[in-house]
């Protein structure tokens, strides 16, 4: 089984295309019999990915800190919901369960998770592919920042290639299907 860690917003954003891509990603992951690993909320893009994956027959593993569960945002209809003590424990557990990572649009939390996945890959803590789903160019500024970090000598080119940008769910699914060399449990 392949498990895809999805980082995304706990809100839905303004543009309806963000919701559509979240639903398409969940549906495509689920229809392949893969699992979604994510932050465990029922709200925003997070909830849409989870619900779409479940509706397509996939499994969804949510990891949520106790403090967020108590705010009543935990998704109670998942295959499995793990309650952890901290955000740090959440990210470590999500990394442990995932075979690959993909970031949808989001804000600070999504960026934090994405950067940690990339940092851990750079340090050799994991050897799993990392993608951004660049819906409407959402991640273009981040990718340009990384390119500038390479030009300015702060990031090695080989580490810049640790994140791959894709424009749509079909392209992402093709990449994930071809990344079998990464899937080591």
Which are the contacts of 165, defined by CB distance < 8 A and separation ≥ 6? 131, 132, 134, 139, 143
pLDDT tier at 180, thresholds 50, 70, 90: low
Choosing among 1.20.120.80, 3.40.50.450, 3.90.440.10, 3.40.50.720, the CATH entry for 3-180 is 3.40.50.450
Distance (Å, whole) CA 172 – CA 122: 21
pLDDT tens sequence across 120-140: 999 999 999 999 999 999 999
Cα–Cα nearest to 56, from 25, 18, 80: 25
Match 């398409």 to its residue by tokens: 24
pLDDT tens sequence across 47-61: 999 999 999 999 999
pLDDT tier at 183, thresholds 50, 70, 90: very low
The model's pTM is 0.94
pLDDT tens sequence across 8-50: 999 999 999 999 999 999 999 999 999 999 999 999 999 999 9
């Amino acid at each position: 089984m392949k498990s895809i860690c999805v980082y995304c917003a706990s809100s839905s954003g303004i543009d309806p295309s963000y919701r559509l891509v979240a639903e398409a990603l969940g549906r495509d992951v689920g229809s392949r019999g893969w699992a979604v690993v994510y932050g465990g909320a029922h709200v925003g893009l997070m909830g849409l990915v989870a619900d779409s994956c479940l509706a397509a027959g996939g499994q969804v593993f949510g990891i949520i800190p106790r403090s967020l569960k108590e705010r009543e945002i935990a998704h109670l209809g998942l295959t499995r919901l793990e309650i952890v003590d901290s955000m740090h424990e959440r990210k470590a557990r999500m990394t442990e369960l995932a075979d690959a990572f993909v970031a949808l649009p989001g804000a600070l939390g999504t960026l934090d998770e994405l950067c940690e996945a990339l940092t851990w890959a750079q340090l050799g803590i994991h050897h799993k592919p990392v993608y951004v789903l660049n819906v409407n160019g959402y991640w273009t500024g981040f990718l340009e920042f990384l390119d500038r970090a390479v030009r300015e000598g702060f990031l090695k080119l080989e580490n810049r290639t640790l994140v791959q940008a894709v424009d749509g769910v079909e392209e992402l699914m093709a990449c994930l299907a071809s990344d079998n060399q990464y899937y080591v449990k």
